[in-house]
């Protein structure tokens, strides 16, 4: 599965993504916006471990955001379970050189057009922490408002 937009492509991770993953993920500005499990410094061993973990998933939920044929970020959906079965957490990060170019909204749109998780979902949320950038939060808020209204695409 590869979904191409005008600014980026969203596709499954490949082992050849290790060098650019380290290049962009090894950034304190990115690490402080993400969950504690995201390591900093980010090493080649971290990248290989991550790619092997997500590549083995029965249903892919984590994808590379590719810009100019290089993995420059990540986007993923974690479907809820039990009472949260109709919801999903959406998470993403993008290499700092690409901030402010409208890439995240496009990646969110592309992922939501996949059809997975099931279309019966009624709610999406993010676990962004206090270090999250305001622009990224606004992109996600606009996108989540669209998902909660039962439409795909961005407002």
User: Which pLDDT does position 101 carry in this prediction?
Assistant: 93
Give the Cα-Cα-Cα angle 95, 1, 126 (nearest 5 degrees). Answer: 50
Cβ–Cβ under 8 Å, residues 73 and 93: yes
User: Which pLDDT does position 82 carry in this prediction?
Assistant: 77
In this model, does residue 114 exceed pLDDT 90?
A: no
Global pTM reads 0.78
Q: In the chain, pLDDT over 70 holds for what percent of residues?
A: 69
User: Which pLDDT does position 4 carry in this prediction?
Assistant: 94
Q: Extract the tokens encoding 9.
A: 């492509």
pLDDT of 63-81, one tens digit each? 999 999 999 999 988 777 7
Q: Would you place residue 140 in the very low, low, confident or very high pLDDT band (cuts 50, 70, 90)? A: low
Domain 3-148 class? Answer: alpha beta
pLDDT of 8-62, one tens digit each? 999 999 999 999 999 999 999 999 888 888 999 999 999 999 999 998 787 788 9
**86/81 Cα distance (integer angstroms):** 8
Backbone angles phi and psi of 21, in degrees to 5: -60, -45
């Amino acid at each position: 599965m590869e979904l191409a937009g005008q600014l980026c492509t969203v596709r499954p991770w490949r082992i050849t993504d290790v060098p650019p993953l380290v290049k962009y993920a090894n950034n304190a500005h990115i690490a402080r916006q993400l969950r504690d499990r995201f390591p900093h410094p980010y090493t080649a061993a971290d990248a290989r471990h991550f790619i092997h973990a997500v590549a083995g998933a029965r249903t892919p939920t984590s994808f590379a955001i590719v810009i100019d044929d290089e993995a420059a970020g990540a986007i993923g959906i974690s479907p809820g379970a039990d009472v949260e079965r109709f919801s999903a957490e959406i998470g993403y990060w993008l290499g700092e050189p690409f901030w402010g170019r409208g890439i995240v909204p496009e990646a969110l749109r592309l992922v939501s057009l996949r059809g997975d998780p099931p279309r019966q979902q009624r709610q999406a949320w993010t676990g962004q922490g206090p270090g999250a950038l305001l622009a990224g939060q606004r992109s996600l808020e606009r996108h989540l408002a669209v998902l909660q209204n039962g439409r795909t695409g961005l407002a």
